[in-house]
């Protein structure tokens, strides 16, 4: 079971980089290459964060683009585009997972069932 969880986590983490690399037309777009690019870019982001304390996030974005450029065989501007695409896709996945968790936590299914039956939430308690 834990192997399935690791596979899903890797897919959620590496998937946005693969999509971004294919959209911008990078030279290498395979799964393991994108995983390597993600590891290299994370190393560069942490180094940039330690070197530039006040500009950690901004320096991190530019450092991540540099890592993508090196590993995925693309230009720096395309590396920045991969960063932007990865951010947007990851944000959408996180928001969907958060709403799924919140919806199940507050019993959205029962609320919808009560609304369809004509009962207000206060009457069902």
pLDDT at 37: 93
Q: Is 16 inside any structural domain?
A: yes
Looking at the structure of the chain, the number of domains it has is 1
Helical residues (DSSP H) of the chain, grouped into ranges: 2-24, 31-51, 56-72, 76-105, 108-116, 121-124
pTM above 0.85, yes or no: no
The pLDDT tens digits for 21-76 are 999 999 898 999 999 999 999 999 888 888 887 777 788 888 899 999 999 999 99
With respect to residue 11, please indicate whether it lies within any of the assigned structural domains: yes
Residue 102 lies in a domain: no
Domain that holds residue 6: 2-90
The total of other beta-carbon atoms located within 10 Å of residue 78's CB is: 21
51 lies in a domain?
A: yes
Q: Is residue 114 in some structural domain?
A: no
Q: Please report whether residue 34 resides in a domain.
A: yes
Cα separation, 110 vs 117, whole angstroms: 11
Give the closest residue to 77 by CA, choosing from 65, 85, 63, 88: 65
């Amino acid at each position: 079971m834990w192997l399935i969880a690791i596979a899903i986590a890797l897919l959620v983490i590496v998937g946005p980089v693969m999509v971004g690399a294919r959209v911008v037309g990078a030279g290498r777009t395979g799964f393991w290459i994108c995983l390597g690019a993600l590891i290299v870019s994370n190393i560069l982001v942490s180094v940039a964060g330690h070197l530039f304390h006040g500009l950690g996030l901004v320096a991190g974005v530019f450092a991540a683009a540099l890592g993508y450029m090196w590993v995925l065989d693309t230009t720096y501007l395309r590396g920045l585009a991969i960063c932007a695409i990865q951010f947007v896709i990851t944000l959408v996945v996180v928001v969907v997972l958060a709403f799924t968790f919140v919806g199940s936590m507050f019993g959205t299914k029962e609320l919808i069932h009560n609304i369809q039956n004509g009962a207000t939430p206060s009457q069902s308690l």
